[in-house]
Amino acid sequence: MKLLRHGLPGTEKPALHDERGIVRDLSGVIADIDGATLSDEAVERLRRIDPATLPAVAPERVGPCVGRVGKFICVGLNYIDHARETGKEPPAEPILFMKATSAIVGPNDDIQISMMSLKTDWEVELGVVIGKRAKYLSKEHALAHVAGYCVVNDVSERAFQSERGGQWTKGKSHDTFGPIGPWLVTRDEVPDPQALQLWLDVDGVRRQTGTTANMIFDVAFLVSYISQFMTLEPGDLIATGTPPGVGMGIKPNPVFLKPGQSITLGIAGLGSQKQQTVEARN
């Protein structure tokens, strides 16, 4: 299934995207698409519903595909070519950092360029949404704890991230720096998360092309690994790293985002996003 949330920010309603491309409202069945509705049992109950019995809606806005995300965990330098384009060696273990959940927005919402920004950058990534509590998992059991997958744009301010001291979080957490969706595609529709094509364009120019087959640490390993350090709860989101082609890696002159630009990105089978960059507002 392809699950989504639609409506104004803060008042989104749950829905599904049926096989005919029609959005069907789920608000008469569940309150939201969040940790409380992402268990295998809850997803199976939704799967048994005939979509034709649900009201069709024409969303004015598609919101983040998961509500009330508890943790937004990110993995850095998880593609060899991306690590090298940043001038770093591929890591021996996953690099983990947190992105503020207040950065989460819908897939087509504007991206606000911070008032102090010098180097705002793009990163298309596979998002992994947890459906079952996970702690000290083995790799063999890890994917059974995944509810589904989504597209993430891990927008990053490189000067904040790397030139202002401390950890990466300050460069990753500005409002609107976490578009997710359009859909949460349930696990059964993604038999191999290591066989997905990713892409991203800026102003119509292809900047990133990649495949999850080139991850250094695959999804099952990442879920298992992260569960050794923190308990993963239903509704938590993991962004698994980006392929090469980010702005900071363009040689000889890096390219960064400015207000007034268009970003389009997507992952095969998981949908696409389109954002406009605007000046930040209070």
CATH of the domain at 170: 3.90.850.10
Give the tens place of pLDDT for each residue, 247-259: 999 999 999 999 9
The residue type found at 2 is K
Say what the pLDDT of residue 89 is.
87
145 φ/ψ angles, rounded to the nearest 5 degrees: -95, 5
β-bridge pairing 271-279 and 111-113 = parallel
Give the tens place of pLDDT for each residue, 87-130: 888 999 999 999 999 999 999 999 999 988 999 999 999 999 99
Is 260 a member of any domain?
yes
Say what the pLDDT of residue 167 is.
84
- CA max distance for the chain: 56
- Name the average pLDDT for the chain: 96
Hey, is 85 helix, strand or coil? helix
Is 133 a member of any domain?
yes
Say what the pLDDT of residue 88 is.
82
Is 76 a member of any domain?
yes
Burial class (CB in 10 A: 0-12, 13-18, 19+), 61: middle
CB 55 within 8 Å of CB 25: yes
CB 199 within 8 Å of CB 83: no
* Cis status of the peptide bond prior to 243, with omega within 30 of 0: no
Give the start-end residues of each E strand in the chain.
2-6, 13-17, 23-25, 56-57, 72-76, 95-98, 104-105, 111-113, 120-121, 124-130, 146-153, 156-157, 178-179, 184-186, 197-202, 205-211, 237-239, 262-267, 271-279
- Domain extent at residue 217: 63-279
Is 269 a member of any domain?
yes
Q: How many domains does the chain have?
A: 1
Is 120 a member of any domain?
yes
CB 168 within 8 Å of CB 159: no
199's tokens? 């892409």
Say what the pLDDT of residue 246 is.
97
Is 173 a member of any domain?
yes
The dihedral region occupied by 60, where left means phi > 0, alpha psi between -120 and 50, and beta the remainder, is alpha
Is 26 a member of any domain?
no
Say what the pLDDT of residue 208 is.
98
Say what the pLDDT of residue 209 is.
97
Say what the pLDDT of residue 194 is.
98
Is 41 a member of any domain?
no
- Average pLDDT for consecutive 10-residue bins of the chain (282 residues)? 98 97 97 97 97 97 98 96 87 97 98 94 98 98 98 97 88 98 98 98 98 97 98 98 96 96 98 98 80
CB 110 within 8 Å of CB 176: yes
Hey, is 143 helix, strand or coil? helix
